[in-house]
Structures are given as C-alpha cells and as structure tokens.
Amino acid sequence: MECKLIVHPLAHGIFQISDAMHGPNSDGYSTEPGKATANSYLIIGEERAVLIDLTLNTPELYAYAQSLAGKPILVLLTHGHPDHIYHLNTVPEAWLHPADDTMVREGIPGISFPYPDTVLHPLTDGQQIDLGGRTIKVISLPGHTMGSVLFLDQESGLLFVGDTCARRLLYGVTPTIPVFRHCEMLERLMKQDFSVMYSAHDRCALPKEYIQTILHCIREELPKAGETVMIPGVGEMKNLHWGEEDTLHYFDLAIMEQYIQ
Ligand SMILES: [Zn+2]
C-alpha cells in the first residue's frame, strides 16, 4: 500500500502509527521529545485489534491498520476533537464516550464539519474490551473534553492518553469541568497500575511521573502565567509555557479563563 506512515513497535502487539515525516509540526522520524506529531495506536489481540484515534489525515489509515493487524479492528476514540476523527467516514463504526457524541455528529461551530451518520457505540468508565488474550480497560477522565477517556492495556502496562495527560493541553474549547477538579482526577489516575503513557501528539513515552509535572504546572505555574493566546474560532485563552520542548520537562497549556477554578 502506498502510504507514508511511520510505524514504531512499542511492545508485544502494540504499534505507534505516525505521519508528517518532514512536514510542518514534525520532528522527522525521531521518538525523542520534540515538536507536536500526530499518532494513532494499534493494539493487536488474538481475536481482534483496536485502533486508537484517527489522528492521521490520511484516508488509508484504517485499511493500513487492518493489513498490519490481520484481523478485525475496532476504532476507539479518546475524544471527539476533529484532529482525532479524520476520515471517520472510512470506518464502519467507532466507540466514543457519549459526552463527546454531539461534537462528532454536529461538528464544532467554526472549527470542524460534522459526521452525522457515523455509527457510534458508547464507552463507559471501567469498561473492559476483550481482544482475546489481552484486555483494554477504559478510564473516563473529563477535562480536555467532557468525554475524554484513556485506554489501559493491562498486559503491557501502557496507558494511551489521547490529549489528556499530554505535554500540550488545550482546555475549555468546549464546556468542561474546572481545571482544579480535573487535577483531582489526575491524582486518582496515579493509583492505576501502569508504567508509561503515550499521547496523540508526542512520539516519546511519558513516564507515569509526568502526571506530577502536569499537576505542578496547573497548580503552581498557571496562577503566575501572564500570557494569552488567540485561538481561531475559539477566542482568547490564558497560555502557560513551561520548560523546553525538546525535553520531558515541558508543558504548554492554553485554557479558557472561566475554567481556572
Ligand atoms: Zn483534543
């Protein structure tokens, strides 16, 4: 298949699929911390596989993942943002937390177009998805969006976090919970049994301890931040830049003022 995708094996039966090799917002083939990338993840069990997020703006992604897995694929979405549902019309059905259904079906006014006819199945907190020989656990963690979820592969201890526990956090583009309430949920997440996290926009692994960095930045650094950034279609957001982008000691937060509570 003619398809410019980069595939990194992460663990037994788990692959990171990326694109944007040398385009804007890319860091080439590197898996070191760097500029934002776009990553989907394929987890293959004995009977079926899951593809986490349609993060690549390439219509061949689903077919490519199917050929790599060699078995039926379920498409799981960490949330309903437009850069996670590219070419959703190329898949027969997808699984999503119902709180983000409207975002997908109606689009986000001024930002993205709708997918009104997609068959969406609900994901719920604590749900176990059996792939045959391995099970994926769904963890609900609202904040980035109300329907944001994480996926834990219990066999490898890898946690797939979408845009939730990432080095760049966009907060409050659509109605959500206060960010300090979100922090309490991040603290609870640390009690779950996992070792590293993989996000949708960094190829590097994030150690579990990175959650402490997020908590520090939101609780200690955000109140001191004075910058704002204008997001097209959204408006002015408060902006925190912390650390260096080519290290793990980096966090970039854009947040609507009303959620800083
Ligand atoms: Zn997002």
How many angstroms is it from 82 CA to the middle of ligand 1?
8
Give the distance (Å) from ligand 1 centre to CA of residue 254: 12
**What percent of the chain stands above pLDDT 90?**
83
Q: Which is more confidently placed, 28 or 131?
A: 131
Backbone angles phi, psi at 94, to 5 degrees: -150, 160
Distance 49 CA to ligand 1 centre (A): 23
Ligand 1: centre distance to CA 59 (Å)? 19
Handedness of CA 82, 141, 75, 4 (dihedral sign): positive
Distance 133 CA to ligand 1 centre (A): 30
pTM: 0.95
- Of the pLDDT bands very low, low, confident and very high (cuts 50, 70, 90), residue 110 is confident
**How large a percentage of the chain has pLDDT more than 70?**
97
Q: How far is the CA of 28 from the centre of ligand 1 (A)?
A: 22
Which of the four pLDDT bands, split at 50, 70 and 90, describes residue 1? very low
| Separation between Cα atoms, residue 27 and residue 35, nearest integer Å | 6
What is the DSSP pairing of strand 94-96 with strand 120-122? parallel
Rounded to the nearest angstrom, the distance between the alpha carbon of 155 and the centre of ligand 1 is: 26
- Is the confidence at residue 155, as pLDDT, over 60? yes
Q: If you average pLDDT over residues 38-50, what whole number do you get?
A: 97
Q: In angstroms, what is the span from residue 32 Cα to ligand 1's centroid?
A: 21
- Given a contact cutoff of 8 angstroms between Cβ atoms, the answer to whether 119 and 108 are in contact is no
> Exposed, middle or buried by CB within 10 Å (0-12, 13-18, 19+), for 261?
exposed
What per-residue confidence (pLDDT) applies to 25? 66
Residue 21's pLDDT band (cuts 50, 70, 90): low
| For range 163-187, the mean pLDDT | 97
Q: Compute, in angstroms, the gap from residue 159 CA to the centroid of ligand 1.
A: 17
Q: Which domains does the chain have, with CATH numbers?
A: 6-259 (3.60.15.10)
Round to whole Å and give the CA distance between 261 and 257. 9
Measured CA distances, 78 to 85, 145, 196 (Å): 10, 10, 17
C-alpha–C-alpha distance, residues 251 and 211, integer Å: 11
Q: Given this model, what pLDDT does residue 24 score?
A: 63
Q: How confident is the model at residue 23 (pLDDT cuts 50, 70, 90)?
A: low
pLDDT at 108 over 90: no
Ligand 1 center from residue 148 Cα (angstroms): 9
In angstroms, what is the span from residue 168 Cα to ligand 1's centroid?
Answer: 10
Summarize pLDDT for 73-94 with one digit per residue, the tens.
Answer: 999 999 999 999 999 999 999 9
pLDDT of residue 27: 74
Mean pLDDT of the chain, nearest integer:
93
How far, in Å, is the centroid of ligand 1 from the Cα of 89?
Answer: 19
Q: Is the pLDDT confidence value at 163 over 50?
A: yes
Dihedral sign (CA 37, 40, 43, 44): negative
Cα–Cα distance between 19 and 40 in angstroms, integer? 9
Residue 55, pLDDT > 60, answer yes
Would you say 38 and 198 are in contact if contact means Cβ atoms under 8 Å apart?
no
Average pLDDT rounded to a whole number, residues 21-43:
83
Give tens-digit pLDDT for 201-219: 999 999 999 999 999 999 9
